[in-house]
Amino acid sequence: MIKVEGLTKRYARTVAVDNISFEVEKGQIVGFLGPNGAGKTTTMRVLTCFLPPTSGTANVAGFDVQDHPLEVKRRIGYLPETPPLYPEMEVREYLRFAGRLKGISAADISRRVDEVVDRCAVGDVRDRLIGKLSKGYRQRVGLAQAIIHNPDVLILDEPTSGLDPKQIIEIRELLKALAGEHTIILSTHILSEVEHSCERVIIINAGKLVAIDSVANLTNRLRGSEAVAVEVEAADGRPNPTEVQQRLEQVSGVSRVLMKDSKNGRLTFEIESLQGRHIRAEVARTVVNSGWNLSELRAVGISLEDIFLQLTAAERTGASAKDTEPEGAKK
């Protein structure tokens, strides 16, 4: 449904998106994940024909964004970061305008407006001025605007930002309901968002593609290995940190031991296992057999948060040599 190849967008002094390629299948919900300023909005703007790419191509439903922008726009519903609402219009009046603008005929417009009003649950405020609505309602009116012409592709830029938890859940439910018939790309910098509503994740950082995979795969990739937090106390109150660390590193299946803290003779370590190895029992035995007290041992779950940090951190260290130069030049 969406095919992006070698997409680069350069502004006057910065490269917002750097050579990104990905594909999205029909009917999928894809999360576009990255810290603020990673290039999510820019990529979305290219897909919606709001901005032309500097180089590379983007293809939506078989139409190139540069060669056939009108065809692409007909098939896309777009909710920008700030919903594009006219405060002086009433909700239904606005939706009529947006719908007609997107090519819905005069005969169908009332029916479509009623449909999206129902779907996005803005019936209570249908005759109110948009300027008087709360943030949650505005977001939903924005979403109604995006789906009014029943587009093949929905592009949502941070659809849940600024909403309260209840509203976030409602929007998530709505997105799930929409997913079957529409292909959805949503951007967010909140990881749990992706875990909840997306099938696939595209992670970008500083304009570069970091990872693209299904949510399950990404979590599995690191859930196969185990992380354990251990707190060790010496019987005499003075354990030797290096000795403890060495002993722990010798446990079979351990890939990395990190000392987190040492306070009042208590040492805290975080231990990561190799892929597919369970190390908790072995670690406990080692500590006890060495004559230390094991005061805490618990598994640390690896969330998408960690994956994200690891991936972007790897990217950063890998690319740091390259990156320092242009950044220095900017200043």
Partner 1 sequence: MKSALLICRKELNSYFASPIAYAVMALFALIFGFGFYTASRDFVRFSLQSQMMGQQQPMNVNEQIVRPLLGFASTIALFLIPMITMRLVAEEKRTGTIELLLTSPVKDSGIILGKWLGAVLLYLCVLGMSMINIALLFAWGKPDLKPVLIAYLGLILQGGCLLAIGTFISTTTKNQIVAGGVTFFVCLLLWLLSWFTAFDSTATAQVVNYLSIVTHFENFGKGVLDLKDVVFYLSMIFFALFLTLRSMESLRWRA
Q: Specify the residue, 84 or 237, whose C-beta has the smaller distance to partner 1.
A: 84
C-alpha pair distances (Å), 327 with each of 170, 320, 323: 41, 10, 6
Q: Specify the residue, 98 or 211, whose C-beta has the smaller distance to partner 1.
A: 98
Q: Specify the residue, 97 or 199, whose C-beta has the smaller distance to partner 1.
A: 97
Q: Radius of gyration (Cα) for the chain, nearest Å?
A: 25
Q: Specify the residue, 52 or 123, whose C-beta has the smaller distance to partner 1.
A: 52
Residue 65 beta carbon to partner 1: minimum distance, rounded to whole angstroms: 11
Residue 148 beta carbon to partner 1: minimum distance, rounded to whole angstroms: 11
Residue 85 beta carbon to partner 1: minimum distance, rounded to whole angstroms: 7
Q: Is residue 266 left, alpha or beta, with left meaning phi > 0 and alpha meaning psi from -120 to 50? A: beta
Nearest one of 257, 277, 267, 269 to 298, comparing CA atoms: 269
Give the residues lining the site for partner 1 (CB under 8 A). Answer: 45, 48-52, 70-71, 73-74, 76, 78, 80-82, 84-89, 93, 97-98, 100-103, 145
Residue 175 beta carbon to partner 1: minimum distance, rounded to whole angstroms: 19
Q: Specify the residue, 54 or 290, whose C-beta has the smaller distance to partner 1.
A: 54
Q: Specify the residue, 127 or 173, whose C-beta has the smaller distance to partner 1.
A: 127
Residue 101 beta carbon to partner 1: minimum distance, rounded to whole angstroms: 4
C-alpha span between 326 and 318 (Å, rounded)? 15
Residue 246 beta carbon to partner 1: minimum distance, rounded to whole angstroms: 57
Q: Specify the residue, 56 or 80, whose C-beta has the smaller distance to partner 1.
A: 80
Residue 51 beta carbon to partner 1: minimum distance, rounded to whole angstroms: 6
